[in-house]
Amino acid sequence: MQPPSSLAYVDDKRQLIVLDPSGTQRALSGGDDLLWATWGQSAPSDVHSWPTWSPDGQRLAAFRIAKSGDHSRVWATDIDGVHSAEISAMGRRIPIYLQWSTDGSRLAVLSQDDSELVLQVADPLAEASDVELLRGSPLFFTWVSGDRLATFVGEGTPTKPHLAVLSPGGARLDLPGAPGNFCAPVSLPRGVAYVAHVHQQVVVMVSSLDGRRITELEVVDGLVALLASPDGRFLARAISPDGSGSPYHQLELLEVATARAQPITDAPCVAFFWLPSGEGLVVASREGDRAEVSWSWIELDGTSHPLMELIPSRDTRVYLRFFEQYGPSHPIVDPTGSVLALCGTRPGEDEGPSRVYLVPLDGGLPEEIGGGLFATFAPNPSAVEP
pLDDT digit string, tens, across residues 135-184: 888 899 999 987 899 999 875 555 678 899 998 777 889 998 888 767 79
Tell the burial category of 242 from Cβ atoms under 10 Å away from its Cβ (0-12, 13-18, 19+): exposed
**Range from 35-44, 91-100, 251-260 carrying the lowest mean pLDDT:** 35-44
**Omega of the bond prior to 138 within 30 degrees of 0, cis?**
yes
Mean pLDDT of 67-85: 81
Contacts of 73 (CB under 8 A, 6+ apart): 63, 64, 86, 87, 88, 89, 90
Per-residue pLDDT, 31:
40
Average pLDDT, the chain: 88
Range from 14-28, 83-97, 246-260 carrying the lowest mean pLDDT: 83-97
- Of the candidates 147, 277, 145, 133, the one whose C-alpha atom is nearest the C-alpha of residue 207 is 145
Q: Is the pLDDT of residue 276 over 90?
A: yes
pLDDT band at 358 (very low <50, low <70, confident <90, very high): very high
Q: What is the structure's pLDDT at 70?
A: 67
Q: What is the mean pLDDT of residues 1-19?
A: 91
pLDDT at 79 (0 to 100): 83
CA dihedral over 148, 154, 156, 160, signed as positive or negative: positive
- Mean pLDDT for the stretch of residues 195-216: 91
pLDDT reading at 386 higher than 80: no
Rounded to an integer, the average pLDDT of 114-128 is: 89
What is the band of 44 on the pLDDT scale with cuts at 50, 70, 90?
very low
pLDDT cut 90: percent of the chain above it: 63
Confidence at residue 303, expressed as pLDDT on a 0 to 100 scale: 97
Stronger pLDDT, 385 or 139, i.e. the higher one: 139
Share of the chain above pLDDT 70, in %: 90
pLDDT tens for residues 21-43? 999 998 885 443 333 333 334 34
Tell me, what's the pLDDT at 19?
94
